[in-house]
Amino acid sequence: MHYAFTVFSAAPSHDVFLWNVLIRGFADTGHPHRAISLYYRMREAGVEPDNFTFPFVLKACAGLGDVEEGERVHSDAAEFGYESNVFVGNSLVSMYGKCGRVEAARRVFDRMLERNVVSWSVMVGAFVQNGCFGDAMGLFWRMVEERVRPNRVTILNLVPGVCRMNEADEIYRVVLENGLDSDICIQNAVMVMYSKCGRVDLARGFFDKIDQKDLVSWSSMIEAYARADMPMEAFELFQQMKIQRICPDYVTVLSVISACLNLASLRQARFIHGFIVRSLFEGQSVVETAMIDLYMKCGRTEYARQIFDRMHEQNLISWSTMIAGYGMHGRGKDALELFDRLKCSMKPDHITFVSLLSACSHAGLIAEGWQCFNSMTREFGIVPRTEHYACMVDLLGRAGRLKEAQEFIQSMPIKPDSGVWGALLGACRIHSNVKLAEFAAKSLLELDPENSGRYVLLSNIYRSLGKTEEANRVRGLMKQRGVKKTAGLTFIEVKNKLYKFTVGDQSNPQSDLIYRELEVLMGRIREAGYIPDTNCVLYDVEEEMKEKMLYLHSEKLAIVFGLLNSGPETAIRIMKNLRVCGDCHTATKFISAVTGREIVVRDAHRFHHFIRGICSCGDYW
């Protein structure tokens, strides 16, 4: 563009064609400011714009998201008589849509005297971009009824808004009817569409049928597996991709990291890290930050800190990720120290404060938490959001200050959301306050009726206090509403291989040995003082049966498997997809004491490091 502008400047005269060429060049090469500036220079030079000028200038306005500038150009188009031109009209619809003014886009579309397939496609895209999925679908079917044949752009604009299977099937029928199914971009889009509808199996079927898979095909399928919480499938596909010599980009790498976050597999984390180094992705802050998060969730804070300290450019997201990681491990003091360093180089944002307040909550740092919360507005001009209030309720509630937490909620200047009430309900579980739990649950079950964890938590509180009838009522309500409890899974990595356990699992080849050893181990910890917490069993059965059911929890099976298959100096590391239950937490403390082994448990909320009968959370989780 530098050379093009030099030639343009040296020309003895400039007609509208030359101005258009240069405006388009700047708009297409990521210099929208210069494109708009050149447009006004053209006007000052007395050269009238034509029907080609306005689409280029409107594209530049859309690139900047500058709707006010776009409106001025729209006014010029009307003044020069080009508003009714189909190409200018299409550009106006696109500009308004990309600037978030979908109503204005629709008004332009409705006033167009002539529409082509681009007009319809752009309007559909504007609806989808602005979250108006119902309007997008309605317009698409109106387009089909008016016998305007959709093209690849129409489909590509529409599919990001599809989330229902019946809609997906109908759109795919249109794709087939219009002969678009052989287009690689459409094939990829259809694959993503079905995965977003929850049918990863169908998405994989489309993936397997693509003859010439491109990078987008592989990346999209890996991302679909990651989003569906199928990390092992995502990782296997990534390895197949490497065998096929398809070179991943950073988007693919981020999808693989996202999938592995759910596994907490150190072996896979090291493999991905090695790949990043060999493939020269080091130095890309978004990839390095993702690796920091992955190592933190694998329980290796030292590896995460090494990457952080070596980063060429530490941005706000990388700082916040490190702070959140320390918080997850109960290292609140380290999180506060890092925050003090952050303040010397840049201004924290609301996400940083969520990470910091959460770290204070996990570590029980009440005074420090209040200080951080008050400094948000006073020092940094950040207005607290519901997630900050939820962190403070969690902080107060965990410390047993339930009355203070309740008063804090009542004094909130904004309406409490499910996160705030959930924090209070969790605190009620810790401190067995059934009256306040009922108060919190009433609001919570209205705001978040599909979350099974809320019902289970309230039911556990009732059962722990011997209120069996109330506990059964909550379970009945859960059943009535069709809410199903998420199945508990525990993962453990032994000798570079990942194993999965469910409650009462019999699928492991060593199952007989595991159960024999478990029986011996439970006897040893009973002698050491362990008493089973049968309140954690939600079924109405005899006390002896409840104890046996507790023994079958996936955490205990995974720990025993680790003890059987690792050296006496090796730490046992397991990952639970849900919050670890109270009985398993107590049992693990005793197991670490009688075996002399360090046991690290990552659950859905935080890390627990068990050493010699003591947990790093201080029973404060």
Across the chain, what does the average pLDDT equal? 91
Q: What is the pLDDT of residue 578?
A: 86
Question: What distance in Å separates the CA atoms of residue 322 and residue 386, rounded to the nearest whole number?
Answer: 22
pLDDT tens per residue, range 596-613: 999 999 988 889 999 999
Query: Quick check: 618 pLDDT over 90?
Result: no
| CA-based nearest residue to 238, from 280, 192, 271, 283 | 271
> Taking the model in full, what pTM does it have?
0.77
Element (H, E) at 576: strand 572-576
Q: What is the pLDDT of residue 536?
A: 58
Give the tokens for residue 359. Answer: 């770290």
Q: What is the pLDDT of residue 523?
A: 95
Give the residue carrying structure tokens 């087939």.
176
pLDDT tens per residue, range 4-58: 999 998 888 889 999 999 999 999 999 999 999 999 999 999 999 999 999 999 9
More confident residue, 468 or 138: 138
Query: Quick check: 547 pLDDT over 90?
Result: no
What's the whole-number mean pLDDT along residues 475-494? 84
Please state whether 245 falls in left (phi above 0), alpha (psi between -120 and 50) or beta: left
Q: What is the pLDDT of residue 73?
A: 96
Tally of CB atoms within 10 A around 45: 9
Q: What is the pLDDT of residue 279?
A: 84
Read out DSSP for 301-334? HHHHHHHHHH-SS--HHHHHHHHHHHHHTT-HHH
Query: Quick check: 546 pLDDT over 70?
Result: no
For 94, 105, 183, 397, 431, the CA distances from 151, given in Å and listed in that order, are 17, 21, 11, 56, 61
List beta partners, residue 491.
500, 575
What's the whole-number mean pLDDT along residues 238-251? 90
Query: Quick check: 135 pLDDT over 70?
Result: yes
HSE of 618 in the Cβ direction (CA atoms, 13 Å)? Answer: 11
Q: What is the pLDDT of residue 495?
A: 84
Read out DSSP for 365-423? -HHHHHHHHHHHHHHH-PPP-HHHHHHHHHHHHHTT-HHHHHHHHHT-SS---HHHHHH
